[in-house]
Chain A
Amino acid sequence: MTTGPAIEHRVCRRHGLCLAVAPEAFTVAADGRIQVTARDDEAAVEKARQAARLCPTQAIRMPKP
């Protein structure tokens, strides 16, 4: 079973690049934190994987493929 991407809020500096790379996988919550919205959609998770690579602080944890 996969668990989908997860944000490490301790590390995240809210640069917001993930929102540009994978808008279908991430959103901004009311408190300003970035949240994961896609857990099962395979295409969205693949885009989230690219966002994880590009994240300036490497704050996105991906499940093992």
Chain B
Amino acid sequence: MNDSADRVLEVENLKTHFFTRKGVVEAVAGVSFSLDRGRILGLVGESGAGKSITGFSILGLIDPPGRIVDGQIRFMGENLLDKSEAQLEKIRGNRISMVFQDPQTSLDPVFTVGYQIIETLRIHRSMSTAEGRQRAVALLRMVGIPSPENRLDEYPHQFSGGMRQRVIIAIAMATDPELIIADEPTTALDVTIQAQVLTLMRRLVLDKGTAMILITHDIALVGQFCDTICVMYAGRLVERGSKTQVIRTPSHPYTQGLIGSIPGSQSRRKRLQQIPGMMPNLVDMPEGCPFLDRCSLKDAECTTRPHLAEIAPGHFVACHRRRVP
């Protein structure tokens, strides 16, 4: 894991704030993690935890009133925050691709599927349309779309949700990127189709040695799919570690609550362990632990903000009262 040649991404103390009329929203407030070749990292948290904004920040897709105010994003050793928009355009969609949640809206309805795949290849690989077409057929075949030669000339509305997400994966893989950021890629799909898309993505990523960030709210999914798990809460990383560490020995009270509140893992018809309250408003966050109001372990120390501390090799937790269950 320490071989720097394999290091694809290093995010350090990333802070992305949104300057709204109601105040400064600290959507991402100091997030750090790193990712190696061929590894899958899961960013998990509830809506509003800042996981998607972290993904957008890496891609340089933060628009005003949002701004990255601090931190570094080193991709293959280079800080993306120092790059101009023109330089970023050469990286985005080429060396870093993205798979978004909604397969309905991330394809353009007025162009054929083939056109949209070939466009990527024309721009980033300077391929001719004929070459691109050949490659597009191969890509559609790779993601398991039957009779790709014919389907290339069809429009997105002629594809089902699962098939559209396969097309998007084909576009994302078209340029052999070093990093894929998948933001809730299967949330809009049915479970049996979700299983197909996940199996496909995992095969492709492991096969090509691509690094991947999976952004999701489903902790059971990251537990199976990812190597490393980062748990986000209110714009902060509250726990980071290998999947076994985070799932089997969750050490932040929020992670413990999340895992405990999953039904099905406990005896039936009993009350579920629940986390009281809800996530605080990200505008003008109070000093102290962001989880303070909902925590059952809080004490006087928790009014100062906890930082990530290593409690076992590779296992980091931001909690003053961290305990190993």
The answer to whether A and B assemble together is: no
